[in-house]
Each structure stands twice: as C-alpha cells, then as structure tokens.
Amino acid sequence: MQDAQFWSKMAPRYARAKISDIDGYARSLSAIEPFLSGAHVLELGCGTGTTALKLAPQAQSYLGTDIAPGMIEIARGKLPDQGITGLSFKVGTVETLAPEDKRADVVLGLNYLHLLRDLPATLSGIHAMLPKGGVFISKTPCLAEMPFFIRWLVSVLQAVGKAPFVRLLSAADLEQALAQAGFECDPTAHHGAKANDARAFIVARKP
C-alpha cells in the first residue's frame, strides 16, 4: 500500500517528465514491436500509459496495469483522444489481477523489476500465466552497476522517505532470477545512447 501511495502522489510529475534517453527508448520499442502482432499483451507497471499508447495499435489486445491508482487515472484520461481499440488500463499486479486479465502471449515489465519487493514471486507468476512459447520482455535499471554515488543517493532518499522501495540489481542478478523462474533468455542487450548504459533489456521465453 505504501508503494501505491508513493507512486500515486508522484503520478502528475511523472506524467510531465520527459524521456531522458529518447534514442534508447526508441531502440527498445523497435525491439519489442516484432513480438506484438496478433498478440494479447499485458504491461506491468505501465505508469501513465506512454508506452502502452505507442505499442497497443500493433497488438490484438493490450492491458496496461500499475499498482498506483493515480497513474492509471492519468492513463485512462489519455484514451479518448487516441482512438485505440483493444487498449485498457487497470490497477493491479500479477498477484491481484483477475484470471481473465492474465490472458497474455507477451508480458512487458519496463523500468519495473527493480521496484518489486518480491521479485521471485512476480517472475514465477508471469511464467505461470504465459503459454508455452510466451515471452516476457523487461528493461531494468541495474543500480548495482551504477556509480557508487547514485547507489548512495538512492539509499539516503529511501531512508528519509523520499524514494520508494528500489532493489539494487545487476544484469547477472536478473538473468539468474529469470532462469530460476523457468525462463530461457536471449542475450542481454543495452539500448542506451551511452556505451556504459546500465539498463538491461532482456527477452525471456517460456520453453
């Protein structure tokens, strides 16, 4: 509940924020798009719906979910101006979604996994909902690979209640967690504009 309240409070500022690495973002969208044609897509941690609005026209159906009601309220407010059929937004997580909302061929978790308090449980839930051959695509800031001062700042902000729960993950941590959940992963990619980009883009398949 604490995390949901934090992100709901942040939602208006989050909606106004500019994408910091537009080239890296575009590269990730291009890598995701080939998986979407004719697919039922579930996006976890969709925020205010920016990515969902870009990707949904290529899918058969697209459900964007977020833990924060404030995020979903803003996302839903964008729908009337877009005219996109098959796109909807709901408050929820893997653990709380209704069974009918877990029909997905592709699950997306973009800038999401590092915010989970129980990463193994969520990955296991994603694996369980996907059919054989289903795909989970994630892009995750690997804070464990970032400079010390960034890791220190995150810890300080958390200690004073100015930051949400954040997990210090490396790409290797993610690969191991996905393997333990039963996924087979393509080689990890980095789509950032900088050579030392510490955000891991992983396509994980359910064999």
Residues 181, 134 contacting (CB under 8 angstroms): no
- How many structural domains are present in the chain? 1
What pLDDT does 192 receive? 80
- Give the model confidence (pLDDT) of 93-124 as tens digits: 999 999 999 989 999 999 999 999 999 999 99
What pLDDT does 126 receive? 98
Find all residues with CB under 8 Å of 198, minimum gap 6, and list them.
141, 142, 143, 145, 146, 190, 192
Domain containing 160: what range? 2-205
What pLDDT does 155 receive? 67
User: Which segments in the chain show pLDDT lower than 50?
Assistant: none
What pLDDT does 151 receive? 63
What pLDDT does 182 receive? 98
Question: In the structure encoding, which two tokens stand for residue 157, read together?
Answer: 């902000």
What pLDDT does 152 receive? 60
Spatial distance between the Cα atoms of 51 and 58, rounded to a whole number of angstroms: 12
Q: What is the CATH number of the domain that holds 157?
A: 3.40.50.150
Residues 102, 42 contacting (CB under 8 angstroms): yes
Backbone angles phi, psi at 201, to 5 degrees: -105, 120
Summary count for the chain: helices (H), strands (E): 7, 7
What pLDDT does 158 receive? 65
